[in-house]
Amino acid sequence: MEPTDIEPRPATRRPGPPRPGTVVRAVAVGLCTAAVTLGVSHLGAAVVDPAADPVLAVGAASIDLAPQPLKAFAIRTFGTNDKIVLLGGVYTVLVLAAVALGAAALRRRRFGLVGLVAFTGVGAVAVLSRPTATAVDVLPVLAGAGAGVVAMLLVVRAARTVTSAATGRPRLLNRRQFLATAGGTAVGAAAVTTAGQAIARSRPVGAESRASVSLPPPVRPAPPLPATVSVGVDGMPPFVTPNRDFYRVDTALIVPQVDLTDWRLTLDGAVDRPRTWRYEDLLARGLVERDITLNCVSNEVGGPYIGTARWTGIPLAPLLREAGLRPGQNQLVSRSVEGMTIGTPLEAILDGRDALLAVGMNGEPLPLDHGFPLRMLVPGLYGYVGACKWLTSMTVTTFDAFDPYWVQRGWAPDAPVKTASRIDTPKPFAQRPAGPVMIAGVAWAQRRGITAVEVQVDDGPWQQARLADGPSPDLWRQWTYRWDATPGSHTLRVRATDATGATQTAQRVPPFPDGATGWHSVTVTIT
């Protein structure tokens, strides 16, 4: 007798030509459908409104809906690349959903149609959930859905199978037709996507508008910064941060593109005389120039989200006073062109500090990333309560009447900058030879100013650092401490004291909800 359990029968070996894998067909149907749907949506959005792109809208909606710990994690882990990582995640989910859609469509066309409605429905809801969305913004997704149906039906039809007489297994009815249809659909999707990108790129409205601007010289220039603001130690950031190195933190997946010819700034709410300005009207009021350090509430102890620039702008307090502020108001709500809302305590704007509507940054019109054509800047407040970019309207109201974007997500309504300090050099885990080592860094307490910085090595006494010049309390201050380093592993700590006499607390708290506290420390190895 033949040992059948050793030599399997031919029928169980599945011989013959390779199977027209169900997975391959599902991938082809799904990806072709999704690519056509998204390509056409993208092209439509390029024509109608870049914010109507469903992929970007889903990304933007995820940012708005993301729970605070996840957002904090993303900013901490990916920093300025957080948006790229987010879009990568959106695309990954998209591909998986598309393959599931393909599998459903192969089973029954009807299932595929239902899947496609769900797929584009998510996009449509996301598009309409954008704060600046209008009804026409849904048209690109609808056009995409229509094109997607056609693509899906074509590829499903081309993927028909028959049962092979030779093997008894299904095989493609027409392999060539399948490849041609799937390939053709993919090429079509690529073509519309490219066309959309070309249209978007041929309309650099923001960049063109910005290039057309020439800012008048400030009527009240800032005095030049003395060289003595810098400690001149290797590894220190420049005192004034170049625009290209200035940190960027915002929720905008695409940088808002403002065409100056239709941009307006309005002031309304509880004022006697609401007003609307064009860009030229504002410039005509005369620009002042101020050196101001701006930082983000999301900055961790020792983190990078801080920078200093020489800003030019229009003083904000007189504009509000001229409009006739009604009594009992305490909040100014800024709105940006892409729908961000930022609430600033009126008191902070009116108390005499240099609250600005900034149009210039380090001698240039405001870069697109930093809010072209105009942003608010309120020294002493974290950016999320005082520095609305791409500003287009300001409303005088109360804190009771309106919760702006970040406050809706649990951040503090008022957020004065906390006194803080950072060791910039040596870097963590640096190795240095024994002998003198220059420890240096920055400290900041905008509005109050820094009066002392101390450094501690391991558990030794706190030692006074040398402060570089600090021409304004609204600026960060550089410091150095010359350390006679001995071999071994050492932990360096820094703490600052502000002009109220308050010294930074050792207590470590995370940025949420009103800014991190704690001492920055760096561990180094001396050889």
Ligand X SMILES: Nc1nc2c(c(=O)[nH]1)N[C@H]1C(S)=C(S)[C@@H](COP(=O)(O)O)O[C@H]1N2
- Give min distance, CB of 339 to ligand X, in A: 8
Cα separation, 159 vs 154, in Å, equals: 9
CB distance 421 to 295 below 8 Å: no
Residue 416 contacts Mo ion per CB under 5 A:
no
370 binds, among Mo ion, ligand X, none (CB under 5 to 8 A by kind): ligand X
CB distance 373 to 260 below 8 Å: yes
Q: Smaller CB distance to Mo ion: residue 192 or 249?
A: 249
Cα separation, 29 vs 151, in Å, equals: 8
Residue 18: count of CB within 10 angstroms of its CB:
8
Q: What angle do CA 7, 9, 14 make, to 5 degrees?
A: 115
- Give min distance, CB of 352 to ligand X, in A: 23
- Residue 184 β-bridge partners: none
Q: Smaller CB distance to ligand X: residue 246 or 483?
A: 246
56 binds, among Mo ion, ligand X, none (CB under 5 to 8 A by kind): none
- Give min distance, CB of 332 to ligand X, in A: 14
470 binds, among ligand X, Mo ion, none (CB under 5 to 8 A by kind): none
250 binds, among Mo ion, ligand X, none (CB under 5 to 8 A by kind): ligand X
Among 34, 36, 38, 296, binds ligand X (CB under 6 A): 296
Closest residue to ligand X, judged by C-beta, is 383
| Near ligand X in 313-352, by CB under 6 A | 336, 340
Contacting range for ligand X; rule: CB under 6 A; set: 5-13, 108-116, 283-291, 387-395: 387-395
- Residue 268 β-bridge partners: 395
123 binds, among ligand X, Mo ion, none (CB under 5 to 8 A by kind): none
Residue 296 contacts Mo ion per CB under 5 A:
yes
For residues 243 to 272, the per-residue mask of contacts with Mo ion, x marking binding by CB under 5 A and - elsewhere, is: ------x-----------------------
Q: Smaller CB distance to Mo ion: residue 239 or 384?
A: 384
- Give min distance, CB of 218 to Mo ion, in A: 27
Cα separation, 119 vs 122, in Å, equals: 6
Contacting range for ligand X; rule: CB under 6 A; set: 34-42, 318-326, 349-357, 381-389: 381-389
Q: Which residue has the tokens 């400030």?
A: 218
- CA distance readout (Å), 263 to 258, 325, 373: 7, 24, 9
Q: Smaller CB distance to ligand X: residue 389 or 477?
A: 389
Core vs surface per residue 54-69: b (16+ CB within 10 A) or e: bbbbbbbbbbbeeeee
Closest residue to Mo ion, judged by C-beta, is 296
431-432 vs 520-526, strand pairing mode: parallel
411 binds, among Mo ion, ligand X, none (CB under 5 to 8 A by kind): none
- Give min distance, CB of 389 to Mo ion, in A: 11
275-277 vs 265-269, strand pairing mode: antiparallel
Cα separation, 190 vs 526, in Å, equals: 56
Cα separation, 65 vs 83, in Å, equals: 14
Cα separation, 345 vs 354, in Å, equals: 14
* DSSP secondary structure of 211-239: HH--PPPPSBPPPPPPGGG----TTPPPS
For residues 240 to 279, the per-residue mask of contacts with ligand X, x marking binding by CB under 6 A and - elsewhere, is: ------xxxxxxx---------------------------
Residue 389 contacts ligand X per CB under 6 A:
yes
Residues that bind Mo ion (CB under 5 A): 249, 296-297, 383-384
Residues that bind ligand X (CB under 6 A): 246-252, 294, 296, 336, 340, 370, 383-384, 387-390
